[in-house]
Amino acid sequence: MKRMKLSYFTLSGSGLMMWILSVFVILLSYFLFDRGGNFFNTAASLVGVTSLIYCAKGSFVGPLLSVVFSVLYGVISLTFDYYGEMITYLGMTAPMSALSLIAWIRNPADGERSEVRVNRIGRREMTVILLLTVVVTVIFRYVLEALNTANLIPSTVSVATSFLAVSLTFRRSPYYALAYAANDVVLILLWGMALPSDLSYLSVVLCFVMFLFNDIYGFVCWRRMQRRQQVTDRAAQEMAFGK
């Protein structure tokens, strides 16, 4: 069994810069708008943005931290009666992130756990994922309505984008990041609606703004990883063929 390497947890280059910028914005919003009174939201934001950076790196640390963030965010959602967000993150995102963690560890690139092997999803599988997304969304729509969920329509859309995102994360597709980016846009709107009742939620809004930038960054990183791995695979095949 391989030992854990320091490289699994270290950040460098653009990833480190994105993380520093994200942490700075989140902490600034905490001191400016929460007035030091609600560090729980900020702590969840810091865990979440860190998970995104590691996911962009293709490291299993990403989905590991995503499990922690899902639990924290579920608690935050409960405080504003966003039952859809609570159920989605505690009942779907957290367990799916745990499954993604296992899948990423079992599918390393070149035998190294520091980077997951990028997967290419075919049309048939993508069709199945989209159909499942529709089914899950319809079911959740009625559940959320029965629970008198605040801002029902955006909450329902959030379920759809979240399910699509966690499914693509589990299947190791670069497009997981775009699905999460779509979810970020919905959540920026959703928590923006909560601002009139509590200005401290502005830190949550800014959190998802940073999530949006990080998810776009993650998609770019995964496309680069995919091309790099394809080049490496072709080179390995040519060497094996040459022998």
Q: What is the pLDDT of residues 41-71, one digit of tens each?
A: 788 889 999 999 999 999 999 999 999 999 9
pLDDT tens across 140-174, in order?
888 888 888 778 888 889 889 999 999 999 999 99
Q: Is the pLDDT of residue 241 over 60?
A: yes
- Which residues does residue 238 pair with via DSSP β-bridges, in sequence order? none
pLDDT tens across 167-223, in order?
999 999 999 999 999 999 998 998 888 777 777 677 778 888 999 999 999 999 999
The CA-CA-CA angle for residues 179, 203, 66, to 5°, reads 40
CA 203 to chain centre: 18
Q: Is the pLDDT of residue 21 over 90?
A: yes
